Amino acid sequence: MARDKEATKAKLLEAALTEFAAHGIAGARVDRIAAKAGCNKAMIYAYFGSKEDLFDEVLKIQITRVVEAVPITPEDLPGYAGRLFETYERQPELLSLAGYHRLENGFEAISKAEADAHVEKVAAIAAAQERGELPREFTAEELLNLTVHMSILAFSTPVASRELVVCAVKKLIAP
């Protein structure tokens, strides 16, 4: 019977997401990923090269999913922050993966997927500032970082709510 390469890769990526979100890069075990995926661990190396490359691929996929599911809306930054908060509630693995990536690569380290998404979002906010739709008290990059981090910070506190995030970002951009 022929092996379905794409189905095997998908199983490995799903198993790796769970493993990396729970244990990080250093704590994750390829044996557990392979067993959960019902594959031979040699398939991980054949398809992804290394455990680190597998982690990078899982992180890239998760970031891409969030970028596609929650496109930047500079004309409604409070709504954008609220949608991010909801996404993190539904998919907390992304925050775990990003945290482990920074812990193991340095706090300033960001993945290529994250950097690419960041550049596009900053450009969208800068364009909205040029049109006068957003205040200029903060640079576009600062405004994006504050908005995104408010959605993350609110998610990580016991009093977290979408409403809290939306209200905070409204105050941030209020004239």
For 110-156, the pLDDT digits (tens) are: 777 778 888 999 999 999 999 999 999 999 999 999 999 899 887 77
* Sequence-distant (≥ 6) Cβ neighbours of residue 52 within 8 angstroms: 25
Report the pLDDT value the prediction gives residue 2, as an integer from 0 to 100.
46
Report the pLDDT value the prediction gives residue 106, as an integer from 0 to 100.
72
Give the SS3 label for residue 158: coil
Residue 1 confidence (pLDDT) above 70? no
Question: The domain containing residue 149 runs over which residues?
Answer: 5-173
Domain count for the chain? 1
* Cα–Cα distance for residue pair 23/96, rounded to 1 Å: 9
Amino acid at 147: T
Angle formed by the axes of helices 93-105 and 5-27, nearest 10°: 60
| CATH for 54 | 1.10.357.10
Percentage above 70 pLDDT, the chain: 95
